Amino acid sequence: MIKVYLSKDKVKISGHSDYAQKGYDIVCSSASSIFITTVNAILKFDKESISYKNYVDKKNDENDYSLLEIKKHNEIVDTLILNMMELFDELEIQYPKEINIIKEM
């Protein structure tokens, strides 16, 4: 299961949905696309407002995660983060067994 942790200043995604075999999993692809598109959009407007990293454990992919940290809130960043949260909510509605969103706001 994919877990998305949302807080005021962080978004962390970990796990795998196991909806389909690796490379063909539309839920994992969707979650990755939502995250990467949001990061790229924020960086286009304000490179100093966030930091992010993707951690890949070559020995155990269950430990893989992506982390976005918000260093500076502004209208654009907050709007893009809100949009990302709404997209994750929609994904969870469609695939409740494959993705779980934990909000700590």
- pLDDT tens figures, 49-82: 999 999 987 787 777 899 999 999 999 999 999 9
Q: Which pLDDT value is given to residue 23?
A: 82
Q: What is the pTM of this model?
A: 0.90
10 Å CB burial of residue 13 (0-12, 13-18, 19+) is buried
CATH code of the domain in which 35 resides: 3.30.70.1490
Query: Which residue range is the domain that position 94 belongs to?
Result: 2-104
What's the structural domain count of the chain?
Answer: 1
